[in-house]
Structure 1
Amino acid sequence: MRSRHHVTTPGPEVKTTGGLVRGLTTHGVHTWRGVPYAAPPVGEYRLRAPQPVVPWEGVRDGSRFGPVPIQERIGDFIGAGRKTPMAEDSLTLNVSAPLTAHLDGPAPQGSAPPDKPRPVMVWFYGGAFVVGASSAPTYRGYDFVRRGDCVFVSVNYRIGALGYLDFSAYGTPERPIENNLGLRDQIAALEWVRDNIAAFGGDPDQVTIFGESAGAISVTTLMATPAARGLFHRAIAESSAPGMVFGQQRARAWAAGFVTALGADDDPLAGLTTATPHQLLGAAQVLRDRLGDQPGTIPTAPVVDGDLLPEPPLDAFEGGRAADVPLIIGTNDTEGRLFELPRLRLDVLVSDDSMERMFALTQPELRDQVLAVYAGTPHRKDLGGDYMFWYPSIRIVQAHRGPVWAYRYDLTTPVLDLMGVRATHGMELYAVFGLADTNAARWLTALGGRQALRGVQERVQTDWIHFAHHGAPASHWPTYDPQTRLTKILDRVDRVESDPRRERRLAWEGFRGYD
């Protein structure tokens, strides 16, 4: 007999700004999938800021996920699998709510009063801004709904060339092009949450945004974006790379390289607006293969445009201009080791040549100081992860003006140890989303570690849920301050350390990276 959590039945109808949408009831939650939060960004709206959602007649079927943004098919753990529908028309989100939530307005006369609105948790996926899908089984978020009494929202946003390359210089008054489109999508989704989430039993005044990798970069960038102010009230950044936000001069040079790869130098606007998705993906591949001269960068990233994003997020935090909402932020023990595995293309300085070139292009005077703490130790391979994820996150945790809790995720398994990656990039997702009993986790714990993973899963979810409800973790976890630098280490047995990896932190002090 199947568990009641796995019985799927038609769900309730809810009225949104676009119209009525009928969801389904599955895995012990109500869920509505593929709900538009903006107009399809196609045709005249390609490379334009998100436009208001187009209303529909009748009742929309919310039982199926919407298509995912245009991307390479790398598998459905975080992105698109072989059969995942994919299209430019991808600006949809998914909502899950408790079975007990009162939906869609006031309770009928004579009925019991509606429950208190639930906290809302809005998830932004990772994937280096080139892959990612809110429909990935990894990101269903049912545990937050069932055990956390929260409303969970996952968002599709544009990625790759259509979401993050800055083609604005090729626009005209008649056919403008905006930049930071993926960031604009995220803001539009948060505005949709503000305007609609009460109908799903959620509290628009108690919104937590959270994400991993590119999703965490999104979180720290949104905290530095004035247009996003007031749309969220708490934030969790898992393995952010907050320095992966670049100035417009560099971004436009990457855009020019893309146009050349597309074969559209003679008429860039026509090429960009008429190219097929296949052609766009091909040009992106060529551009990525040519980026060896700027190691430790990703061209698909938010752009400091002086308008929507007026300054680099790290500058905003260190100048006290970022949103001062409660923040949980942390990284994993060995972030960069994932990218040493075959077929992973993100350059986080895993080679000596790329490391040398990065210092030469940024701050050569700090090269010897930084390398000294890695020389002759097994930590040399972790320099890239520290450069991209760990040290920039330390800069944020040191500067944040609101309450902040720092963590490091250290839990590994014998299989991960044999692979040489340990607690690398993305491993905390198993704990956050309750994946300890999935097939992937069974493989990772085939030689042991399942109970430890279940234990850290229980503790992490408890803290994340309590944070969404109350603005602070549930467990013993002191706030971070620059004097004590207390950091929670998530492992088989959690512990709190003062200033972990102090020598590395001091070695990186003063490093600013690329402009």
Structure 2
Amino acid sequence: MSGPAVEIASGVVVGKVVDGLCAWRGIPYAATPIGDLRFRGPQPVKAWDGPLDAKEFGPKAPQVGVADSSEDCLTINVLAPQATSDQPRPVLVFIHGGAYVTGSSAEPLYRGDNLVRTGGIVYVSFNYRLGALGYLDFTEYSTAERTFETNVGLRDQVAALEWIQRNIAAFGGDPDNVTVWGQSSGANAVTTLMCTPAARGLFARAIAASSPVASAYGKDRARGWAAQFVSSIAPDGDAVRALTTASPMELANATQTLTQRLADEEPGTRITAPVVDGDYLPQYPIDAFADGNAAPIPLLIGSTSHEGRFFPLFLNIIPSSHKRIEKMFDETDPAVKARALASYPGYPRRRAAADLGGDIVFWEPSILCAQGHTKYARTYCYRYDFAPRLLHAIGLSATHGTDLFATFGALGDGLGRHTTLLGGRSAMRAVSDTMTAHWLSFVRHGSPQSSWPTYSLDRRETMIFDEVSQVRDDPLGERRRAWIGYHHKR
């Protein structure tokens, strides 16, 4: 079991050297959440005897279509430069996206190699519980013998951050200089963690890429979704038996079925999302940012220019069709609806509808978050506009997730290479270099490079990442104002 060995609180972990970097993978950060621990907050991991082989990623959280997933998924990964440093290194923690139902830290795109090499940082990623196992609220079914807790996936994320505070110094990282970065639901995790009392002090700054900030729901709505879920897996009405004995795949499949149905019946909501339970998550994050109750730390937040065009093709869960959008506006002031629709030329045609849906899920809540947070802490806004010729040709443009190729520097292999088959690789490299420099400056110092000013309510300065990146004041300001008065479902 030769390889770089590190002693942490639970024992010795032995990793491996990968292309000149030291990697430790699949380290348990909490006890396996099975049996009585299913639907409970994470519990401390027991110390192990002898060295732990930490050369491979741990199992993915249970999800549809992934055969090697497992409830034994609460593992964390660390990537660091092989060379030692006299000073502790900044730490960048990435939380993967996937609508809280798919994904894992083992995705090739999320390896973090380029950021570690370029920035000399320590990079951390981890898995957390997804779907019903992590994001449905079954507390109404608790009994004296069996407790169900809220926000289990969110609690996992807090446990991972606590693990980092206890152990990252052993890997050369600085526990006082931790940045948490997430994309999509991972970005929702970031903005939610900023509003979670248990996470206060566990990280020093935050990056939220395409965060559906408003996707958090109250106990009443969550209770209704849980009841529908339970009725689908427990026709005999024995909720406790069904929830505790159903296989992970049965739970994942039932989550997918209910998600697809409610995408039509309650468009603009997500059944797998944090629950504002008044305790672990005491306030809707969008309100917490407005009221100054979020962690007063530097925040870098933004979205892509055409977020919604991804979803009808790959994950059809947002209000990106005429039928869903009309239903989404059911409880909206007709004047607000008219203003919003008028700001999307071509609506209800397909691309305009997708742009509207993506904006109301990702862009508009991120703007609300930024305009609230900038009153209390440094805030930096961006929009990612770059798209190589192929993405323009197929009508996606700069859509949801395409910014990750640039920020991770994943340009030469996999999807990153395929997106530039019709050209644009040198331009994409330039965009990637620019974004990486800003990201790493933020990770090190709490601010991007000096060309990117803080967001203010007077000017709404926004960095536009494109072939030529530049700061613009209040881009799409008329569209932003058109959404004033719209209220997200809770």
Could you say which TM-score interval applies, normalised by the shorter chain?
over 0.9
Matched, 1:268 2:268: no
Deviation, structure 1 residue 88: 0.2
Residue 409 in 1 paired to residue 384 in 2?
yes
- State the partner residue of 1:109: none
Are the counterparts in 1 of residues 210 and 303 from structure 2 also a CA contact under 8 Å? Answer: yes
> Residue 493 in 1 paired to residue 476 in 2?
no
Structure 2: tracts of 5 or more residues without a match? none
For residues 75-117 of structure 1, the C-alpha deviation after alignment (integer angstroms, 9 at most, x for no partner) is: xxxxx5x6xx310010000001111236xxxxxxxxxxxx110
Equivalent of 1:447, from 407, 422, 425? Answer: 422
> 1:207-218 counterparts in 2 under 5 A?
207-218=178-189
Deviations, residues 241-263 of structure 1 (Å, cap 9, x unaligned): 00111111101111111111113
Stretches of 4+ aligned residues off by more than 2 angstroms = 361-365, 375-381
Work out whether residues 362 and 513 of structure 1, in 8 Å CA contact, stay in contact via their aligned partners in 2. Answer: no
Give the one of 124, 135, 146 matched to 1:164: 135
Residue-by-residue CA offset, 1:172-197 (whole Å, 9 max, x unaligned): 13211101011000000000000100
Is the contact between residue 235 and residue 327 of structure 1 (CA under 8 Å) also seen in structure 2? yes
Instruction: Choose the corresponding residue for 2:283, options 276, 300, 311.
Output: 311
Q: What is the aligned partner in structure 1 of residue 365 from structure 2?
A: 392
Which residue does 2:356 correspond to in 1? 383
1:159-181 superposed Cα distances (whole Å, 9 cap, x missing partner): 10100000111111321110101
TM-score (norm: length of structure 1): 0.92
Q: Residue 285 of structure 1: CA displacement? A: 2.5
Q: Which residue of the partner structure matches residue 126 of structure 1?
A: 97
> Which segment is superposed worse, 37-46 or 432-441?
432-441
Alignment of 1:337-356 (within 5 A): 337-341=309-313, 343-346=314-317, 348-356=318-326
Deviations 1:249-308 (A, max 9, x none): 101111111111113552101100010112112211321232121012110000000000
Q: Given residue 329 of structure 2, which amino acid in structure 1 is its aligned partner?
A: F
**Does the Cα contact within 8 Å between 1:463 and 1:475 map onto a contact in 2?**
no
Whole-Å separation in 2 of the counterparts to 1:504 and 1:255: 36
Gaps of 5+ in 1: 1-8, 74-79, 103-114
Provide the C-alpha distance between the structure 1 equivalents of 2:450 and 2:306, rounded to a whole number of angstroms: 24
Q: Which residue of 2 aligns with 1:506?
A: 481
Structure 1 match to 2:297: 325
CA offsets 1:348-407 (integer angstroms, 9 cap, x no match): 221111111111035445211211212447744311011100000000111102101100
| Correspondence 1:92 to 2:62 | no
Distance 1:447-1:178 versus aligned 2 partners, 3 A rule: same
Contact kept? 1:33, 1:65, Cα under 8 Å:
yes
Whichever residue aligns with residue 469 of structure 2, its letter is D
1:173 is paired with a residue of what secondary structure?
A: coil
> Residue 427 and residue 10 in structure 1: after superposition, are their counterparts in 2 closer, same or farther (change >3 A)?
farther
Partner residue, 1:232:
203
Distance (Å, rounded) in 1 between the aligned partners of 2:107 and 2:59: 11
| 2:119/2:440 contact within 8 Å kept | yes
Counterpart in the other structure of 1:77: none
In 1, are the aligned partners of 2:322 and 2:353 still within 8 Å (CA)? no
Shift in Å, 1:55: 1.1
2:228 is paired with a residue whose SS is helix
Aligned to 2:84: 101
Are 1:431 and 2:431 matched, yes or no?
no
Contact 1:101 1:200 in 2 (8 A): no
Quick one: distance in 2 between partners of 1:253 and 1:470?
44
Q: What SS does structure 2 have at the residue aligned with 1:457?
A: helix
1:269-284 matches, within 5 Å, as: 269-284=240-255
What's the TM-score, normalizing by structure 2? 0.96
Matched to 1:286, the amino acid is: T
- Report the Cα distance in structure 2 between the residues aligned to 1:182 and 1:362, rounded to whole angstroms: 31
The aligned counterpart of 1:63 is 55
- 8 Å Cα contact 2:114-2:408 kept in structure 1: yes
Q: Does the CA-based 8 Å contact 1:11-1:31 persist in structure 2?
A: no
RMSD: 1.4
Distance apart, 1:149 and its partner CA: 1.0
Distance 1:363 1:162, change over 3 A: farther
Counterparts of 1:362 and 1:135, CA distance in 2 = 41
Q: Aligned to 1:149, which of 117, 120, 128?
A: 120
Asked if residue 116 in structure 1 is aligned to residue 116 in structure 2, the reply is no
Task: Please state whether the residue corresponding to 1:463 is helix, strand or coil.
Answer: helix
Question: How many residue pairs were aligned?
Answer: 484
Contact 1:411–1:491 at 8 Å: present in 2 too? Answer: yes
Confirm or deny: 8 A CA contact 2:320 2:353 kept in the other structure.
Answer: no
Partner AA of 2:246 in structure 1: A
1:361 aligns with 2:331: yes
Hey, what's the Cα distance between the residues in 2 that align with 1:344 and 1:194?
Answer: 35
Instruction: Name the SS for the 2:240 alignment partner.
Output: helix
What is the percentage of aligned positions where both structures have the same residue?
50
Query: CA separation in 1, counterparts of 2:220 and 2:117?
Result: 47
